[in-house]
DNA sequence: AAGTGGTCTAGACCACCTT
DNA sequence: AGGTGGTCTAGACCACTTG
């Protein structure tokens, strides 16, 4: 007798997904209750729950207590990106990594930086500009602000030798992060550091972190032309 | 007696995360076995498992059978983005949405498009250029290729009235998607459609979909200057 | 008020990976 | 070979939210 192996939650997930793709469950439809699906597949309700949890996280269905499970009618594409330490990113491309400190100074935060942190009053922070190189070519130019109230230790770090990006990642855990992507034309200053014509289109990553509600750092990373960020597969 | 309420998996997750943030469990460290943690917290192993699953997905720890659970030593920032249907995006900003078809023609795929699909030989596809407007101002210019082998129905759609973006999302489910972000300078043609100076930095979203291994569509969306994409919070 | 998803438990077995 | 995470089950109770 060919007894079928027991269904796993991924099997259930894939079957349900197939039904959604084939419009057996069409956009907007309400799916059967977990318990009924469990009965149909001959598995425990927990297994169906695990499958549904995954589908909900992928953005395929929406689940509400009492409301049941519905196929989203205007599906969104959900993509996840990993933003590694710049050195790791460079080395993973098989390139030689180098780092140059460009400037380091205490400055009052301008309104743009205050907005990123959600602050209403200016504050003195450490501003650090630095360049990351891959195979001796400019790779990413970063303009960073570090809050010296939450992170006074940064003042003692020799940033000519140690990279603020890595020092923070290794020494300053954060509890909240905000990430934004955009594009901008290189200013004369940017262009100079990145060795690219003024006005070049640069890919911009803005990353701001907090510990609790206290600001830690915000950084605007400008990637040299040609930079492309790919979503995680899977 | 104040009997503490039973621990939920989110409580366990938050406690473990706090220990990681406070370096109780430092980067590279191996965490205790799930079962030991369960005993410490006085809960079932399943509950610890659920908590760990979440931490692993956040990119804070790595789990391996037999190898145990380790705190990642080079943590990555993981961010999730939702890319909605353009109309929804515009309407959610409280703006009026409009759409204009710019061109529609059968063309041989150039090498760039073949590469996005992973094809080795050129193929004739339907190329559709269109403009999305918010409050009568150009918002996103899209340059799309639709595979007429997998999606012949597209040839019968009146794209002057119906928007290829939405038609595909509602009628052509996909099983795999690739998303990439970059930046580029507006060409004369782009600049004209987006009503912006030539050379403006444009935010670029490339989105390619397949059903099984068959290509469906690939689209390069160029956002008007000022566009910014924010990661999901939470 | 009642229906539905969310979670917890305890135990069992499986599958992968390191040693 | 053995240790660890991964999953399944069956049952129970809880919590949200809709009618």
Q: Which two tokens stand for residue A193?
A: 């550091």
> Distance from residue A47 (CA) to nucleotide C13 (C1'), in Å?
16
Q: Which of B146, B152, B216 is nearest to B178 (CA)?
A: B216
**pLDDT, tens digit, 9 for 90 and up, residues B69-112:** 999 988 889 999 999 999 999 998 999 999 999 999 999 999 99
pLDDT, mean of residues A123-137: 97
What is the least distance, in Å, from the CA of A85 to any CA of chain B? Answer: 7
Read off the pLDDT band of A3 (50, 70, 90).
very low
Nearest CB to A181: which of B200, B207, B229? B229
Say whether both A155 and A91 belong to one domain. Answer: yes
pLDDT digits (tens, 9 = 90+) for B1-57: 444 567 899 999 999 999 998 899 999 999 999 999 999 999 999 999 999 999 999
Token readout for A212 is 């609790």
* Dist CA A65 CA A47 (whole Å): 17
Confidence category of residue A167, pLDDT binned at 50, 70, 90: very high
Which residues in chain A touch residue B181, judged by CB atoms under 8 angstroms apart?
Answer: 181, 203, 228-229
Identify all chain A residues contacting B27, using CB atoms and an 8 Å cutoff.
Answer: 170
pLDDT tens per residue, range A5-30: 678 999 999 999 999 988 999 999 99
> Using a CB-CB distance cutoff of 8 angstroms, which residues of chain B are in contact with residue A23?
173
Q: From the candidates B76, B79, B171, B216, which should be mutated to test the interface with A, based on the most A CB atoms within 10 A?
A: B79
Contact A178 B228 (CB under 8 A): no
| pLDDT at residue number B74 | 86
Note whether residue A231 is domain-resident.
Answer: no
Secondary structure element (H or E) that encloses residue B219, with its range: strand B214-223
* pLDDT, position A7: 81
Predicted confidence band at A1 (pLDDT cuts at 50, 70, 90)? Answer: very low
Q: What is the pLDDT of residues B122-178, one digit of tens each?
A: 999 999 999 999 999 999 999 999 999 999 999 999 999 999 999 998 888 888 999
A170 and A215 inside one domain: yes
**Do the beta carbons of residue A129 and residue A141 sit within 8 Å?**
yes
- A230 falls within a domain: no
Count of other CB atoms within 10 angstroms of residue A105: 9
* Averaged pLDDT score across all residues of chain B: 94
Chain B residue with the nearest C-alpha to that of A233: B178
- In which residue are the tokens 């918010």 written? B134
pLDDT digits (tens, 9 = 90+) for A139-158: 999 999 999 999 999 999 99
Look at residue A54 and tell me if it is in a domain. yes
Is B111 in a helix, a strand, or coil?
A: helix
Q: Which two tokens stand for residue A144?
A: 């960073």
Which range has the worst mean pLDDT, A5-14, A45-54, B59-68, B218-227? A5-14
Cβ neighbours of residue A67 closer than 8 Å, sequence gap 6 or more: none
Confidence of residue B215 (pLDDT cuts 50, 70, 90): very high
Please say if the pLDDT value at position A131 is more than 60: yes
- Helix, coil or strand: residue B170: helix
Going by the DSSP 8-state scheme, the letter that residue B135 receives in this structure is: T
**B161/B192 same-domain check:** yes
Number of structural domains, chain A?
2
- The mean per-residue pLDDT over the stretch A202-214 comes to 95
Residues B141 and B41 in one domain: no
Pair (B64, B103) in one structural domain: no
Q: What is the pLDDT of residue B3?
A: 45
Give the nearest partner residue to A182 out of B174, B199, B203, using CB atoms. B203
- Nucleotides on chain C that have an atom closer than 7 A to a protein CB are 2-12, 15-18
Do B37 and B137 have their domain in common? no
Task: Give strand pairing partners of A142.
Answer: A130, A221
Nearest to B202 among A85, A183, A231 (CB): A183
Same domain, yes or no, for B112 and B166?
yes
Check whether residue A156 and residue A200 sit in a common domain.
Answer: yes
What phi and psi, each to the nearest 5 degrees, are found at residue B43?
-130, 180
Q: Is residue B104 part of a domain?
A: yes
**Edge-to-edge strand list for the sheet holding A137-147:** A97-108, A124-134, A137-147, A214-223, A201-211, A176-185, B228-230
Residues 6 or more apart whose CB falls under 8 angstroms from that of A90 comprise A96, A97, A132, A133, A134, A139
Which chain B residues have a beta carbon less than 8 Å from that of A175? 21
The CATH number of residue B32's host domain is 1.10.10.10
Q: Quick check: is B25 in a domain?
A: yes
User: In angstroms, how far is CA A65 from the centroid of its own chain?
Assistant: 30
Mutate to test the interface with B, among A24, A59, A142, A182 (most CBs of B within 10 A): A182
For residue B172, the chain A residue with the least C-alpha distance is A21
Same structural domain, B180 and B111:
yes
pLDDT band at B120 (very low <50, low <70, confident <90, very high): very high
- Predicted TM-score of the model (pTM): 0.92
Is residue B234 in a domain? no
Q: Is A183's CB within 8 Å of B203's CB?
A: yes
Domain that holds residue B97: 86-223
Domain endpoint, select from B46, B71, B96: B71
Interval A60-67 mean pLDDT: 96
Query: A–B: how many Cβ contacts below 8 A?
Result: 136
Region A224-229 average pLDDT: 96
The residue behind tokens 């209750």 is: A33
Are B145 and B109 contained in the same domain?
A: yes
Q: Side-chain half-sphere of A233: how many Cα atoms within 13 Å?
A: 4
Token pair of B96 as six digits: 């009026």
A137 assigned to some structural domain: yes
Residues B146 and B31 in one domain: no
**For residue B34, is it within any domain?**
yes
What share of chain B has pLDDT > 90, as a percent? 87
Model pLDDT, residue B234: 63
CATH of residue A138's domain is 3.40.1410.10
Which of A47, A71, A95 is the endpoint of a domain?
A71
Q: How far apart are CA A85 and CA A90, in angstroms?
A: 9
Protein CA A148 to sugar C1' C10 (Å): 50
Q: Are A219 and A125 in a shared domain?
A: yes
Tell me how far apart the alpha carbons of residues B107 and B110 are, in angstroms, rounded to a whole number.
9
């Amino acid at each position: 007798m060919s007894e079928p192996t027991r269904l796993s939650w991924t099997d259930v997930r894939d079957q349900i997904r197939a039904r959604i793709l084939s419009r057996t469950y069409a956009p907007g439809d309400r799916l059967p209750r977990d318990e009924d699906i469990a009965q149909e597949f001959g598995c425990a309700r927990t297994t169906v729950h695990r499958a549904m949890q995954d589908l909900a996280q992928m953005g395929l269905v929406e689940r509400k207590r009492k409301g049941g499970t519905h196929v989203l009618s205007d599906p969104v594409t959900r993509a996840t990106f990993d933003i590694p330490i710049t050195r790791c990113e460079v080395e993973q491309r098989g390139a030689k990594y180098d780092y140059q400190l460009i400037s380091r100074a205490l400055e009052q935060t301008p309104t743009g930086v205050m907005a990123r942190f959600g602050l209403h009053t200016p504050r003195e922070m450490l501003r650090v500009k630095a360049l990351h190189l891959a195979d001796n070519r400019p790779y990413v130019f970063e303009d960073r602000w570090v809050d010296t109230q939450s992170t006074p230790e940064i003042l003692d770090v020799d940033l000519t030798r140690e990279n603020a990006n890595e020092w923070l990642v290794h020494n300053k855990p954060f509890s909240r992060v905000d990430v934004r992507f955009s594009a901008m034309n290189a200013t004369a200053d940017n262009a100079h550091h990145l060795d690219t014509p003024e006005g070049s289109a640069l890919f911009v990553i803005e990353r701001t972190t907090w510990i609790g509600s206290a600001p830690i750092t915000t950084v605007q990373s400008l990637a040299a032309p040609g930079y492309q960020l790919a979503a995680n597969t899977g």
